[in-house]
Amino acid sequence: MLHTLSISALRQQLANKTVSAVEVATHFLARIEAQKDLNAFINIDSDATLAQARAADAAIANGSAGALAGIPLAHKDVFVTRDFVTTAGSKILAAYKSPFDATAVARLNAAGAVCVGKANMDEFAMGSSNENSFFGAVKNPWDTQTVPGGSSGGSAAAVAAGLALGATGTDTGGSIRQPASFTGITGIKPTYGLVSRFGMIAYASSLDQGGPMARSAQDCALLLNEMAGFDDKDSTSIERESENYTTQLNNRWSAQATESEPLKGLKIGVPVEFYGAGLDMEVKAATQAAIKQYEALGATIVEVRLPNTELSIPTYYVIAPAEASSNLSRFDGVRYGYRAADYTDLEDMYRKTRSQGFGWEVKRRILVGAYVLSHGYYDAYYLQAQRLRRMIAQDYQTALTQCDVIMGPVAPTPAWKLGDKSSDPVQMYLADIYTLSLNLAGLPGMSVPCGFSAGGLPIGLQIIGNYFSEAKLLQIAHAFQTHTDWHLQKPVCAQ
């Protein structure tokens, strides 16, 4: 079954010509159609997908194939694409087709990947449940009565359900890690600036970061190899020597490490603040058991402090809406996207277009952002939040002098029922307590499957590293996945 293979296994079959890219693409398009009730995709274009597959087959035949030739991927609908409509999950962009590809998409295209469609998402990446999409909520493949997480919920559901072998996601406050946790897949948020933001529709520019989502750390490493790299079209892109994120995967951590203890010498920091009030007991038990497994692999555990963790929520929900209110001002009905049908003058057109085109969560964050940036409140809110941001980042730097990586839960609970938190935005925001601080600090982090709730819902372990430590995070995650099988568990629809 093609949809049960890893990316590396399918690469081998394609290279050996056991199967063609067109056959692979046809298989996945059929699966997407059969499972359309999950609502994981916004836009499917079989002609565009099959054209990319034929190009991959031609490259394989003439020996010019890239590292991902023929591999079926889904792109979060926040990345602009020439061949597919890009909506950002919003009515205001419901028919927008970009004249160019986002850099992350272009890099994956150059490697020969085949896009099977654009994945559903919370509108403009604003949400924690994927219920804020203009195109309807995505359902979790493990239990279709529950959310898949957000805002990259469509990408996560597509991978978990076997509708794509990998997907692009974006993470502004946990939007790769949290849906990966809720759907039992692996996702990595790279260091800010490692993956180009060019062509990634902006929510909060100083926080947004693209990254890969797949079943395993090894598959994420293969995708990150192609996505990462300097881009002179992105002023926040980091110019540094490129890495191969697969080379360290099977390495032992230190000279003292052995076959039975491959991570001997690794120091894992466990923050006291991640295990306080509000943490579901099943999540606590699963993540602590995973950390015990790391001890069995040779790691040592140290207690660390991140004293400003609770301040990450108010800090984030000042800074992110402030940047969103500026970024979304371009959607005014003049240049592109939706325009109100009836209006009396330019101001009326602006008002009606934005009122009709944006959903309630987007409007809420624009209003909050405009408020905190307004005269008389800028110093009290926005500048104060920036000071707290620096304190949060410093907490991590202090903690990481005592350990190599930090581990803990991704979210306080497993996935909740659809609609359970829709009427209470604050409760939804609190679900991001363990993920927001990484974006404020610009650090890399991963979600790795580590268990299940009594109700059969996946639980993820968060692994946090210092700047540009993606190769180490992937190595540590791969070691765990070599000795456990949580990442191999699949919902019934993916078997």
Angstrom CA distances, 192 to 7, 218, 230, stand at 25, 21, 12
Nearest CA-CA partner of 392 in 283, 477, 319: 319
Are 286 and 452 in contact by the 8 Å Cβ rule? The answer is yes
Check 20, 155, 175, 469 and give the catalytic one: 175
Mean pLDDT confidence for 299-321: 97
Average pLDDT, the chain: 97
DSSP-based three-state secondary structure for 291 = helix
Mean pLDDT confidence for 219-234: 98
Are 165 and 159 in contact by the 8 Å Cβ rule? The answer is yes
Are 126 and 365 in contact by the 8 Å Cβ rule? The answer is yes
CATH code of domain 2-254: 3.90.1300.10
User: What is the band of 5 on the pLDDT scale with cuts at 50, 70, 90?
Assistant: very high
Phi-psi region of 124 (alpha: psi -120 to 50; beta: other; left: phi over 0): left
User: What is the band of 264 on the pLDDT scale with cuts at 50, 70, 90?
Assistant: very high
Which helix (DSSP H) or strand (DSSP E) does residue 300 occupy? strand 300-304
Q: Is 242 a catalytic residue?
A: no
Are 458 and 414 in contact by the 8 Å Cβ rule? The answer is yes
Mean pLDDT confidence for 176-197: 98
Rounded Cα–Cα distance for residues 154 and 140 (Å): 9
**How does DSSP classify residue 17?**
T
Burial class of residue 155 in the structure, from the number of CB atoms within 10 Å of its CB (0-12 exposed, 13-18 middle, 19+ buried): buried
Are 188 and 220 in contact by the 8 Å Cβ rule? The answer is yes
Looking at residue 399, what is its pLDDT? 98
The pLDDT of residue 341 is above 90: yes
Looking at residue 423, what is its pLDDT? 84
Contacts 24+ apart (CB under 8 A), 278-282: 278/412, 278/430, 278/433, 279/409, 279/412, 280/412, 280/413, 280/414, 280/453, 282/414, 282/451, 282/453, 282/454, 282/459
pLDDT in tens, 105-135: 999 999 999 999 999 999 999 999 999 999 9
245-268: burial string, b at 16+ Cβ within 10 Å, e else: bbebbeebbeeebeeebbbbbbbb
Looking at residue 17, what is its pLDDT? 95
Angstrom CA distances, 50 to 10, 23, 29, 115, 320, stand at 17, 9, 9, 9, 38
Q: Is 175 a catalytic residue?
A: yes
Tokens of 139: 């359902």
Radius of gyration of the chain, Cα coordinates, nearest whole angstrom = 21
Looking at residue 422, what is its pLDDT? 87
* Residue 37: count of CB within 10 angstroms of its CB: 9
CB neighbour list of residue 403: distance below 8 Å, 6 or more residues apart = 267, 268, 269, 302, 304
The pLDDT of residue 85 is above 90: yes
Looking at residue 454, what is its pLDDT? 97
Mean pLDDT confidence for 330-356: 94
Looking at residue 30, what is its pLDDT? 98
Looking at residue 424, what is its pLDDT? 86
Mean pLDDT confidence for 18-38: 98
Which helix (DSSP H) or strand (DSSP E) does residue 287 occupy? helix 281-296
DSSP-based three-state secondary structure for 391 = helix
Partners of 210 in beta bridges: 170
* Residue 13: count of CB within 10 angstroms of its CB: 15
Check 76, 139, 189, 490 and give the catalytic one: 76
pTM above 0.85, yes or no: yes
Looking at residue 63, what is its pLDDT? 95
User: What is the band of 82 on the pLDDT scale with cuts at 50, 70, 90?
Assistant: very high
* Residue 66: count of CB within 10 angstroms of its CB: 18
Check 151, 196, 447, 469 and give the catalytic one: 151
**How does DSSP classify residue 416?**
P
Looking at residue 146, what is its pLDDT? 98
Rounded Cα–Cα distance for residues 130 and 125 (Å): 9
User: What is the band of 251 on the pLDDT scale with cuts at 50, 70, 90?
Assistant: very high
The pLDDT of residue 426 is above 90: no
Tokens of 326: 């500026």
Which helix (DSSP H) or strand (DSSP E) does residue 406 occupy? strand 405-409
C-alpha triplet 19, 22, 25: angle, nearest 5°: 100
**How does DSSP classify residue 458?**
E
Residue with tokens 């040779």: 298
The pLDDT of residue 413 is above 90: yes
